[in-house]
C-alpha cells in the first residue's frame, strides 16, 4: 500500500504566514506518522504561480510575474526546510514538467467532449480566483476576503461540470475507496454534498483578461484558468503526461492499494472536492482517496490572510522558542477541522505548561534522580507490570487512532496524558525518599525504569509532531534515533537500555518569561495597534504590553495570586464618557474623552470593533485611573477602560455601572 499526501500549492503573492505553515505541518505530521509505521509515503508541496493575483502584484511593482514568483517561491521552500518539513518534492507551476501535464489533462477533457466556448460575465474575487453568484457576496464583497468583487466579462472555454453532478453525488455517498468518506470531516462532506445537490453550472476554465498563465491548447489568446492549472499539480509532480510515469503508477494507480490524501483549508474545499474529481472523471483518471479540510487560524475574528492584512508570521516565536515549540503549539492548539484564534499569549502558556513543564521538567527530574541513584546510568532492572506501562499502552493506542482519524490535536493530547501520568507516578512513588530510607533497592531500579521508559515512549510518540525534540529526548535517554529511523517496535514497552550512560543535561525547553518576551518584542518593534502580537486578546485599553497570566511557577495556566495591598495599588474609578471617536487607520482603537470627578482626560481603548462612538457617549464605565500614560497610534492614553474579553472571540464587553453612580467614585 502506498500513500501520497499533498498540501495546497501556495500563491506566491506574498511570504508564508502561520495559516500556510499549519497546513504544511499537518501534512508533514501525518506523513511522518505513516513513515514511522514503515509505509511507502510520498509528500508533495509547492507553489501556485499563475493567475490574476500574481499578475496584479507584478503590474503594481512594475516587474515581470515570474520575478514575483522567483522572489516568493524560495521563502516557502526555505521556511519548510527550517521547520524540518520532510517533503519529497516541491513543484512550481511555472516549471515545464507542470505545463506538459496540464496540456495532457486538457487534451483528455477535450477528447471527452467536455470543453466548449461561450460568453461569460460575473462577479470575480481575485483573492479566491473564482466567480461568485451575487447572492453569495456580502454587500458586494467576497465572504472570505472582505474585498470588493470585480465584474468580469469575456469569452471563455467552459468545462461541462454539470454533466458530473450525479457521479459526484455518488462519490460523496460511497467514497472513492469503500469505507473512507471522500471528504473529512463529515460536516464538510455535507456542505459539499448540498452545494452539488443544489445544481452545478458549467465552469469557465480559460481566461482572456490576463496573460499570466499556461496557454490554453487550441485557443490562442486564452490562458488556462488558474484552478485547473493548479489542481493538476498533484499529478504533474508525479510525471503525469511525461515519458516517465513511474511515480504515477506507484502513488496514483487505479484500485484500492494506495491512498491519495489532499490536505486543504476549508476555503478551497470546493475546488478540491467538486472541480478536481470532475476533471479527473472527465479525463478517465483515478480519483484521490480523501480530501481532508481544516479550519482557519483567525486573528481579530477574521481568517488570517494577506488580502485582509492580519497575518502572523512565525519568525519571532521561532527565533525565541525554536521550531519544535511552534510545531507543537499549532498541532495541539487547533481542534482539527475547527477554527482557532492565534495568540502569542496562548503560545507561551502552552509552551510553559506542555513543553517546559510537562515534557522538559519531567524529563530533567527523572534523568537527574536516576542518574544520582545509579551513578550516571539508567537502571539495571526492568519492570513489565506497572501503572506507567498501562497508561503508555493506552496512550499509544489513542495516539494511533487519532492520527489515522486525522484528529491531530487528540494525538497531542495522548502524549500530554502520558507525560502527566509519569510525573504523577514519580510524585507518588517518592524515589528521593526511598533512596534515603532504603538505599538503592531493586524496587528503586524498577521505579526509575518505569519513569524513563514512559518518557522514551512519549518521545517516540512526539516524533511526527516535533521531530527535533523527540530525537533530543531519545538521545538523552541513551536510545539515540532520529525521527526518520523510528518504527512501530519503538513504541513497545521495554526499549530502554539497562545500565547505559545517562547524564543530566540543560533544560530541554527553558521556562519562558512571558513579560520579558513581550517587553523585548516591544523594544525591537514598538508595539502599535497594527503590530501588536495578539489583537484579539488585548485588554480593552492597552497602555503597555499586555500582562500575561504566566506565573513563575506551575501551574502555568493560572494567574499568580496577589495580596489585597497589591490589588489596591490599582486606582479604579467610575468615569463618564463625554466624547468618543474611532482612531483613523485603526480597526480597533477608540479615542475617548472621559470625566473622572472634576478631571477630564483622554483614554484610547481597543473597543471599536464592538462599540460605535454614539453608543459610548454618556455611558459610565470603570477605568484604571493611575496607569502610566502610553502612546497608541501616536495618541497619549491616560488610563484603561475595563471590559470583559468574551470567550472564543475576545470581543470586548464593557463593565456596566449603574448610571446613578457619580463619576469619580472609587471602585473596590
- Quick one: residue 303, left, alpha or beta (phi over 0 = left, psi -120 to 50 = alpha)? beta
Q: Which is nearer to ligand MSP, 6 or 586 (CB)?
A: 6
Instruction: Kindly identify the residues of this chain, within the stretch 40-69, that bind ligand MSP according to CB under 6 A.
Output: 48
Bridge partners (DSSP) of residue 99 are none
Closest residue to ligand MSP: CB criterion: 19
Q: Which is nearer to ligand MSP, 340 or 391 (CB)?
A: 340
Q: Which is nearer to ligand MSP, 8 or 639 (CB)?
A: 8
Q: CB–CB of 331/37 below 8 Å?
A: no
Choices 143-151, 168-176, 303-311, 490-498; region in contact with ligand MSP by CB under 6 A? 303-311
Between CA 594 and CA 603 the distance in angstroms is 7
Q: Is 668 exposed, middle or buried (0-12, 13-18, 19+ CB in 10 A)?
A: exposed
425 to 464: interface string for ligand MSP, x by CB under 6 A: ----------------------------------------
76 binds ligand MSP (CB under 6 A): no
Which member of 205, 304, 318, 545 binds ligand MSP (CB under 6 A)? Answer: 304
Q: For this structure, is 303 an active site residue?
A: yes
Q: Is 62 exposed, middle or buried (0-12, 13-18, 19+ CB in 10 A)?
A: exposed
Between CA 628 and CA 141 the distance in angstroms is 42
Between CA 10 and CA 29 the distance in angstroms is 18
Between CA 547 and CA 563 the distance in angstroms is 17
CB of 307 to ligand MSP, least distance (A): 9
Which member of 28, 114, 267, 345 binds ligand MSP (CB under 6 A)? Answer: 267
Q: For this structure, is 128 an active site residue?
A: yes
CB of 209 to ligand MSP, least distance (A): 19
Parallel/antiparallel/unpaired status of strands 297-299 and 340-341: parallel
Choices 19-27, 34-42, 366-374, 528-536; region in contact with ligand MSP by CB under 6 A? 19-27
Which member of 20, 445, 448, 573 binds ligand MSP (CB under 6 A)? Answer: 20
Catalytic residue among 50, 53, 72, 125: 125
Which member of 3, 4, 5, 10 binds ligand MSP (CB under 6 A)? Answer: 10
By CB under 6 A, how many residues form the interface with ligand MSP? Answer: 21
Choices 20-28, 369-377, 443-451, 468-476; region in contact with ligand MSP by CB under 6 A? 20-28
158 to 187: interface string for ligand MSP, x by CB under 6 A: ------------------------------
CB of 316 to ligand MSP, least distance (A): 18
Q: Which is nearer to ligand MSP, 267 or 345 (CB)?
A: 267
Q: Which is nearer to ligand MSP, 264 or 366 (CB)?
A: 264
Q: For this structure, is 262 an active site residue?
A: no
Instruction: Give me the half-sphere count of Cα atoms (radius 13 Å) on the Cβ side of residue 298.
Output: 17
361 binds ligand MSP (CB under 6 A): no
CA distances (Å), origin 481, targets 25, 242, 324, 553? 21, 39, 17, 32
Between CA 610 and CA 613 the distance in angstroms is 10
CB of 419 to ligand MSP, least distance (A): 27
Catalytic residue among 266, 272, 299, 303: 303
Parallel/antiparallel/unpaired status of strands 599-605 and 590-596: antiparallel
CB of 311 to ligand MSP, least distance (A): 8
Q: Which is nearer to ligand MSP, 236 or 357 (CB)?
A: 236
Q: Which is nearer to ligand MSP, 145 or 476 (CB)?
A: 145
Which member of 296, 336, 403, 611 binds ligand MSP (CB under 6 A)? Answer: 296
CB of 231 to ligand MSP, least distance (A): 5
Bridge partners (DSSP) of residue 604 are 591
- Quick one: residue 131, left, alpha or beta (phi over 0 = left, psi -120 to 50 = alpha)? beta
DSSP 203-260: EE-EESS---SPBPTT-TT-EE-HHHHHHTHHHHTTTTTSS--HHHHHHS-SSSSEEE
Between CA 544 and CA 76 the distance in angstroms is 34
DSSP 353: I
Between CA 154 and CA 334 the distance in angstroms is 42
Q: How far is CA 160 from the centre of its chain?
A: 35
Q: Which is nearer to ligand MSP, 264 or 621 (CB)?
A: 264
303 binds ligand MSP (CB under 6 A): yes
281 binds ligand MSP (CB under 6 A): no
Q: CB–CB of 14/308 below 8 Å?
A: no
DSSP 119-166: EEEEEEETTTTEEE-GGGSBTTB-TTT--B-EEEEEEEEEE-GGGGHH
79 binds ligand MSP (CB under 6 A): no
Would you tell me how many other CB atoms lie within 10 Å of the CB of residue 411? 28
Choices 56-64, 143-151, 262-270, 364-372; region in contact with ligand MSP by CB under 6 A? 262-270
Between CA 237 and CA 284 the distance in angstroms is 18
Between CA 662 and CA 658 the distance in angstroms is 9
The contacts of residue 242 (CB under 8 Å, 6+ apart) are 97, 100, 101
Would you call 497 helix, strand, or coil by DSSP?
coil
Catalytic residue among 34, 72, 145, 532: 145
Would you tell me how many other CB atoms lie within 10 Å of the CB of residue 609? 18
Q: Which is nearer to ligand MSP, 9 or 418 (CB)?
A: 9
Choices 4-12, 139-147, 178-186, 443-451; region in contact with ligand MSP by CB under 6 A? 4-12
Which member of 4, 5, 8, 123 binds ligand MSP (CB under 6 A)? Answer: 8
Instruction: Kindly identify the residues of this chain, within the stretch 225-244, that bind ligand MSP according to CB under 6 A.
Output: 230-231, 233
Catalytic residue among 34, 53, 98, 142: 142
Would you tell me how many other CB atoms lie within 10 Å of the CB of residue 477? 23
Q: For this structure, is 125 an active site residue?
A: yes
Q: For this structure, is 306 an active site residue?
A: yes
Q: Which is nearer to ligand MSP, 11 or 159 (CB)?
A: 11
Which member of 5, 22, 182, 251 binds ligand MSP (CB under 6 A)? Answer: 22
Among 360, 365, 500, 353, CA closest to 430? 365
Catalytic residue among 34, 53, 128, 383: 128
Q: CB–CB of 77/203 below 8 Å?
A: no
Interface residues with ligand MSP (CB under 6 A) are: 8-11, 19-20, 22-23, 48, 230-231, 233, 264-265, 267-268, 296-297, 303-305
Query: What residues act catalytically?
Result: 17, 20, 125, 128, 142, 145, 303, 306
Amino acid at each position: 500500500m502506498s500513500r501520497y499526501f499533498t498540501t495546497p500549492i501556495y500563491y506566491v503573492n506574498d511570504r508564508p504566514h502561520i495559516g500556510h505553515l499549519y497546513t504544511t505541518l499537518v501534512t508533514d505530521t501525518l506523513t511522518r506518522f505513516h513513515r514511522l509505521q514503515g509505509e511507502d509515503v510520498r509528500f508533495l508541496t509547492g507553489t501556485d504561480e499563475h493567475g490574476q493575483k500574481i499578475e496584479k502584484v507584478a503590474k503594481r511593482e512594475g516587474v515581470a510575474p515570474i520575478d514575483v514568483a522567483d522572489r516568493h517561491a524560495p521563502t516557502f521552500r526555505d521556511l519548510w526546510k527550517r521547520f524540518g518539513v520532510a517533503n519529497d518534492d516541491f513543484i512550481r507551476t511555472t516549471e515545464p514538467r507542470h505545463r506538459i501535464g496540464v496540456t495532457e489533462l486538457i487534451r483528455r477533457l477535450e477528447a471527452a467532449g467536455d470543453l466548449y466556448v461561450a460568453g461569460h460575465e460575473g462577479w470575480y474575487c481575485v483573492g479566491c480566483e473564482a466567480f461568485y453568484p451575487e447572492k453569495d457576496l456580502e454587500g458586494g464583497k467576497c465572504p472570505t476576503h472582505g474585498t470588493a468583487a470585480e465584474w468580469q466579462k469575456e469569452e471563455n472555454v467552459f468545462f461541462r461540470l454539470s454533466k458530473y453532478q450525479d457521479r459526484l453525488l455518488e462519490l460523496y455517498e460511497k467514497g472513492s475507496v469503500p469505507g473512507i468518506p471522500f471528504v473529512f470531516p463529515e460536516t464538510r462532506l455535507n456542505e459539499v454534498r448540498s452545494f452539488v445537490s443544489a445544481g452545478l453550472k458549467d465552469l469557465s476554465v480559460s481566461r482572456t483578461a490576463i496573460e499570466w498563465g499556461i496557454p490554453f491548447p487550441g485557443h490562442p489568446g486564452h490562458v488556462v484558468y488558474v484552478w485547473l492549472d493548479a489542481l493538476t499539480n498533484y499529478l504533474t509532480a508525479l510525471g503525469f503526461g511525461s515519458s516517465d510515469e513511474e511515480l504515477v503508477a506507484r502513488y496514483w494507480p487505479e484500485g484500492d492499494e494506495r491512498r491519495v490524501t489532499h490536505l486543504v483549508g476549508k476555503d478551497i474545499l470546493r475546488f478540491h472536492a467538486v472541480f478536481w474529481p470532475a476533471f479527473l472523471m472527465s479525463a478517465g483518471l483515478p480519483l484521490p482517496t480523501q480530501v481532508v479540510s481544516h479550519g482557519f487560524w483567525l486573528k481579530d475574528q477574521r481568517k488570517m490572510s494577506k488580502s485582509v492584512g492580519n497575518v502572523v508570521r512565525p519568525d519571532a516565536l521561532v527565533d525565541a522558542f525554536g521550531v519544535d515549540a511552534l510545531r507543537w503549539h499549532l498541532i495541539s492548539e487547533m481542534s482539527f477541522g475547527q477554527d482557532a484564534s492565534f495568540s502569542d499569549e496562548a503560545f507561551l502558556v502552552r509552551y510553559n505548561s506542555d513543553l517546559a513543564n510537562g515534557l522538559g521538567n519531567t524529563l530533567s527530574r527523572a534523568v537527574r534522580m536516576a542518574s544520582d541513584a545509579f551513578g550516571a546510568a539508567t537502571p539495571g532492572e526492568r519492570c513489565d507490570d506497572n501503572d506507567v506501562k498501562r497508561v503508555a499502552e493506552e496512550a499509544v493506542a489513542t495516539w494511533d487512532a487519532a492520527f489515522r482519524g486525522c484528529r491531530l490535536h487528540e494525538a497531542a493530547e495522548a502524549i500530554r496524558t502520558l507525560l502527566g501520568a509519569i510525573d504523577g507516578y514519580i510524585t507518588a512513588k517518592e524515589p528521593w525518599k526511598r533512596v534515603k530510607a532504603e538505599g538503592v533497592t531493586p524496587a528503586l531500579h524498577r521505579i526509575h525504569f518505569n519513569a524513563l521508559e514512559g518518557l522514551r515512549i512519549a518521545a517516540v510518540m512526539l516524533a511526527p509532531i516535533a521531530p527535533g525534540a523527540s530525537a533530543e529526548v531519545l538521545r538523552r535517554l541513551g536510545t539515540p534515533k532520529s525521527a526518520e529511523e523510528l518504527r512501530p517496535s519503538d513504541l513497545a514497552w521495554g526499549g530502554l537500555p539497562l545500565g547505559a550512560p545517562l547524564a543530566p543535561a540543560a533544560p530541554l525547553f527553558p521556562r519562558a518569561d512571558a513579560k520579558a518576551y513581550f517587553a523585548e518584542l516591544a523594544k525591537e518593534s514598538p508595539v502599535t495597534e497594527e503590530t501588536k502580537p495578539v489583537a484579539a486578546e488585548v485588554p480593552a485599553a492597552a497602555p503597555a504590553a499586555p500582562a500575561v497570566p504566566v506565573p513563575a511557577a506551575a501551574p502555568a495556566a493560572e494567574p499568580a495570586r496577589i495580596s489585597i495591598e497589591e490589588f489596591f495599588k490599582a486606582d479604579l474609578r467610575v468615569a463618564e464618557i463625554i466624547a468618543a471617536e474611532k482612531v483613523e487607520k485603526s480597526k480597533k482603537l477608540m479615542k475617548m474623552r472621559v470625566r473622572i470627578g472634576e478631571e477630564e482626560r483622554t483614554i484610547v481603548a481597543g473597543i471599536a470593533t464592538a462599540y460605535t462612538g454614539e453608543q459610548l457617549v454618556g455611558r459610565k464605565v470603570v477605568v484604571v485611573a493611575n496607569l502610566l500614560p502610553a502612546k497608541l497610534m501616536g495618541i497619549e492614553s491616560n488610563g484603561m477602560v475595563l471590559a470583559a474579553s468574551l470567550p472564543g472571540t475576545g470581543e470586548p464587553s464593557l463593565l456596566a455601572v449603574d448610571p446613578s453612580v457619580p463619576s469619580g467614585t472609587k471602585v473596590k
